[in-house]
Amino acid sequence: MTESNYWSRFGGTVSRRTILRGGAVGVAGLAGAALIGCGDTKKDAAPAGTAAAGTPTAVASNQTAKKGGTLRISGQLTGDVPSLDYDRSNSSALGSITNLTGVKLTQWDERPDSPGPVENVIPDLAESWESPDQGTTWTFKLKKGVKTSDGLEVKAEDVVWSLNRQAQGIRSPQGLVQSNMPDIYSARTGKADINAKAIDEYTLQFKLAKPDADFLSMMGGHWWSVEHKDVITKKGTDQGKTAPGWGDIIGVDQIRGGGPYYPSEYVPASGFKMKRNPNFYDSNLAYLDGIDHPFILDPAAAAAALQAGQLDAFGPLTQFTVNQGLDLSKAANLQVDWQPCMVWNPWVFDMRNKPFNDVRVRRALSHAIDRQSWIKNLLQGRGRNGTMVLPWLTYWAMDPAKMGEDGKYINTYDPAESKKLLTAAGAEKFKFTLQTSNIGAYTVTYPFADLMTSMLANVGITQETKIVDYAAHIGGKTFPDNGIYQSFIVRPDIQSYAYAQVGLGGGLVGGADVYGELAKNEPEYVAFRELAEKQRLTQDRNARKELVNDMQKRWAKNVWNFYWPSPDSPVVSNKKVHNFRPPPGWNWNIMKYVWKDA
């Protein structure tokens, strides 16, 4: 079949309404997404375990930066927050606020000239750190004089208290730190205790059960923030949501953590306002006087506001489509920074049953997808193909085109070979169900599922699409019989990525342990899991790179799940705005380096 045939079914183009549906992410989807993503081809960063000396300050390109002014931005938050208590909400929206208002022990290096924002960590609250036993014991020396906007100093006991609040004070849902960093907790007293103690006011020590090469990176991750206990327990009322003594966050005046900004106003369903922390520990940073963030969820409305000069920046969590980005790049007052994708759409096969427990069927389905024409026609040449969640964000990942024989099933469009594989597997002319949800444009199927249906029809496969309620989709209540579950993955967080990846972080999809079945029956998958665990424990960066490359080849060869090509993300701002270039490892620390002309 020629390229024009299936593209002609879409009239040669895709409608503006359809494109819009593929360009935004709902807040509920973000909250439930695995935290892994995509990246680019910058030079290698320093090892994550390497401490940078001193306090991160403005870089040379910022020497002309001006202090003052308020940045009007939207798209940083994807919707209203379900709760002001970040420990409870599991909300990416509130996480964006918390990353600006709090400090962490480390921070991802998101300076404008950073060689690797996620893979390289630099000091934040911690001034320095060391591990005398190769990653089991960690001792952090904290900065003195790190204060909230109220003038309260953040010390070692606040770190321990903040971590324990999630584990002991927050019972349901489980705290984010406890969920993402279980190794720093134990159950000595029948409940989760943090394996950390304050040696003195400015010295903190962790004891891990085993080395973890991602530990320093996770100490700068978006799952948590150091909170000053007095701000929460003395300003708020105890409404019984947490255990007695831990306090309930019910107002923005309790969100004070020593970061560069603090929230001054929150209007439900309207937006946040933030002001610069006058006590921020680095007087050279946080150029803006304030940040106003109205909730604008419609990219078309945001585009109009940008062009009219009513908004300074938009993105990257709520995304413009490729076509919208190309159109906005023509506006005289705007600039567009193209970033690698923030979202991937993985298809998870039901590998417990036929036909997808047969690798030949999975390979056939992958061969039937013309990814390059997809990128050329739908994404205007601004898209990427990947084998698993690793490839684009981590800087030492492999391009599928460079995997040779191992990558041919992901990288090569071959409908004739697809039909041969289906015949060999006895699966000609079969039907399956793709299940997706009704929340967020990335989980609504158009135009992607329609395009996939058209491509698969060329090899005799019938795809039926089933849209279900979001809660049922991600709540472990349903999985299509002998079908495919469409998930999506938003925002990278830790250096290794692979460990938290679908199939390693529990392996449950729609209540079905489809990867557990692989672990029983496929030696290749068992080897993959062993490599994932080994690379997470490996401190040497080059050794980790080799392990991850091996993992990617195994994944591509066995097609344990696969991904639609992902569009590049246009991040748009007024030309008066400087350094608003959220990197792939975006954690919103970049806002410390953003400034604007008068």
Per-residue pLDDT reduced to its tens digit, 580-592: 877 655 567 788 9
Tokens 């290794």: give the residue: 496
Contact status, residue 43 vs residue 96, Cβ threshold 8 Å: no
Question: C-alpha distances in angstroms, 232 versus 256, 261, 276, 281?
Answer: 9, 17, 20, 21
Could you tell me which residues are beta bridge partners of residue 273?
265, 292
pLDDT the model gives residue 176: 62
Question: C-alpha distances in angstroms, 238 versus 94, 379, 567?
Answer: 21, 51, 46
What's CA 231's distance to the chain center, in Å? 29
Query: What value does the mean pLDDT of the chain take?
Result: 77
- Nearest C-alpha neighbor of 48 from the set 390, 536, 389: 536
Q: For 99-149, what is each residue's pLDDT tens digit?
A: 888 999 998 887 877 765 556 789 999 999 999 988 889 999 999 999 999
Strand bridging mode 313-314 / 70-74: parallel
Which residue has better confidence, 199 or 252?
A: 199
pLDDT over 90 (residue 416): yes
pLDDT over 60 (residue 351): yes
**Host H or E run for residue 431:** strand 431-437
User: What is the rounded average pLDDT of the residues 157-184?
Assistant: 74
pLDDT over 70 (residue 319): yes
How many CA atoms lie less than 13 Å away from 81 in the CB half-sphere? 29
d(CA 350, CA 346): 13
Tokens 């608003």: give the residue: 580
d(CA 316, CA 342): 8
Peptide bond connecting 340 to the previous residue in cis, omega within 30 degrees of 0: no
Give start-end residues of each CATH 3.40.190.10 domain in the chain: 45-295+572-596
Share of the chain above pLDDT 90, in %: 32
**Host H or E run for residue 180:** helix 176-180
Q: For 481-500, what is each residue's pLDDT tens digit?
A: 778 887 765 544 444 444 44
Q: For 11-30, what is each residue's pLDDT tens digit?
A: 444 433 333 333 333 222 22
Identify the CATH assignment for 45-295+572-596 out of 3.40.50.1820, 3.30.70.100, 3.40.190.10, 2.60.40.420.
3.40.190.10
d(CA 93, CA 82): 9
**Host H or E run for residue 337:** strand 334-339
Contact status, residue 143 vs residue 91, Cβ threshold 8 Å: no
Q: Report residue 254's pLDDT band, with 50, 70 and 90 as the boundaries.
A: confident
d(CA 456, CA 440): 25
pLDDT the model gives residue 37: 24
Question: C-alpha distances in angstroms, 272 versus 78, 268, 353, 560?
Answer: 12, 9, 48, 42
Q: For 389-406, what is each residue's pLDDT tens digit?
A: 544 455 566 788 888 899
Q: What is the CA radius of gyration of the chain?
A: 24
pLDDT the model gives residue 16: 31
Tokens 């991937």: give the residue: 344
Spelled out in words, what is the top-level CATH class assigned to the domain 15-28+342-565? alpha beta
Q: For 512-568, what is each residue's pLDDT tens digit?
A: 778 888 888 889 989 988 888 888 788 787 888 888 888 889 989 999 888 788 888
pLDDT the model gives residue 358: 94
3-state secondary structure of 198: strand
pLDDT over 80 (residue 450): yes
pLDDT the model gives residue 175: 58
Give start-end residues of each CATH 3.10.105.10 domain in the chain: 15-28+342-565
Whole-prediction pTM value? 0.80
User: What is the rounded average pLDDT of the residues 147-162?
Assistant: 94
pLDDT over 50 (residue 269): yes
Which residue has better confidence, 499 or 160?
A: 160
Within 401-500, residue ranges assigned H as helices are 408-411, 415-424, 448-457, 470-474
- Nearest C-alpha neighbor of 340 from the set 398, 394, 401: 394
Quick count: other Cβ atoms within 10 Å of Cβ 184?
Answer: 24
Which residues touch 92 (CB under 8 Å, ≥6 apart)? 27, 30, 31, 77, 78, 222, 317, 490, 491
User: What is the rounded average pLDDT of the residues 356-370?
Assistant: 95
DSSP-based helix, strand, coil % in the chain, nearest 5: 30, 20, 50
Tokens 């506006």: give the residue: 331
Q: Report residue 288's pLDDT band, with 50, 70 and 90 as the boundaries.
A: very high
Which residues touch 360 (CB under 8 Å, ≥6 apart)? 421, 422, 424, 425, 427
**Host H or E run for residue 383:** strand 383-384
Long-range CB pairs of 161-166 (<8 Å, 24+ gap) are: 161/227, 161/229, 162/224, 162/225, 162/226, 162/227, 162/229, 163/194, 163/196, 163/224, 164/193, 164/194, 165/87, 165/227, 165/229, 165/232, 165/242, 165/246, 166/87, 166/224
d(CA 178, CA 183): 8
3-state secondary structure of 528: helix
Torsion of CA 452, 454, 460, 462, to 10 degrees: 70
Contact status, residue 478 vs residue 445, Cβ threshold 8 Å: no
Q: Which of the residue ranges 221-230, 271-280, 362-371, 409-418 would you say has the lowest mean pLDDT?
A: 221-230
Within 309-430, residue ranges assigned H as helices are 322-328, 359-367, 371-373, 408-411, 415-424
pLDDT the model gives residue 506: 42
Contact status, residue 137 vs residue 205, Cβ threshold 8 Å: yes
Q: Report residue 359's pLDDT band, with 50, 70 and 90 as the boundaries.
A: very high
